[in-house]
A = this chain, B = another copy of it.
């Protein structure tokens, strides 16, 4: 298993069905767990996947439609019952704290951990989370309410050290980290050993973009350009493009087009209208594939490795 993966917890749209849970995904980056959206049933979905929900540190809400956030109070309540300590950060638009804080106060007044809201401006693309190996950037989307997607982007990784080469020049191990960062080595006699002789290129930095819910918006293309995996909503097939646009959603054809324009490596489509059965979803897949071949259907319990 890689150290960067996405687990689909729910990929249905608002109207409930037995085919799908409502929106939620878990991103695991080097054992740091990030929850994206938090539809009703998210706890059950995590239990089914054997996910240790107590390890979630950050929750990202794309927007405040019920199918993307109504599992939040139950989840926070459970974590509080479980004696989780420390802090959970909820990243969402500015309305979120006004809506949810009173519910936490009412339904889970004795939480064992702190819950902090960090509001983002959904109209611009900005870094809202950062650690030493990852940054998370908002992707302004266009839906019926303020909405943003999230780009999980690994920072440049250290170069691979050629240990035998370093030993050949008697470089103390204390300097190895600097060399993996790209530094050259200067010998006692002043000779400079180029970094290229001491290291090889680093593993590629991977990126994952989550875009739900949104109308077709080419404005997101520069932000998600070249990402390794794109989740893009495809609520409807293109024969329902009028309804799709009216409701602030995308068709499978539009999702494929965005993937092609952004030259991503793989596309996963989801947020399917409950009108589609297995066969209907295969049609959505075919429609997206007609413009972007490397497309797969989201499905609950599916784990996508980056």
Known: A40-B41, A65-B107, A99-B106. A15 touches B78 (CB 8 A): yes
Q: Which residues of B contact A78 (CB under 8 A)?
A: 14-16
Interface centre among A15, A17, A48, A66 (most CB of B within 10 A): A66
Q: A15-B81, A17-B47 are in contact. Are A74 and B70 (CB under 8 A)?
A: yes
Bound-state CA distance A15–B16 (Å) is: 23
The complex places the Cα of A48 from the Cα of B17 at a distance, in Å, of 9
* Residues of B with C-beta under 8 A to A108: 66
* Bound form: Cα–Cα A41–B16 in Å: 10
- A55-80 vs B, CB cutoff 8 Å, 1 = contact: the mask equals 00000000011110011011001100
Residue contact A40 to B106, C-beta cutoff 8 Å = no
User: A124: CB under 8 A from chain B?
Assistant: no
Residues of B contacting A14 with CB < 8 Å?
A: 77-78, 81
B48 touches A18 (CB 8 A): yes
State whether B40 touches A16 (Cβ < 8 A): no
- A65-112 at interface with B (beta carbon < 8 Å): 65-67, 70-71, 73-74, 77-78, 81-82, 99, 102-103, 106-108
Name the distance in Å between A146's Cβ and chain B's nearest Cβ: 13
Instruction: Give 10 CB contacts A-B under 8 Å.
Output: A16-B47, A40-B40, A40-B70, A40-B71, A64-B107, A65-B107, A66-B108, A70-B70, A70-B107, A99-B106
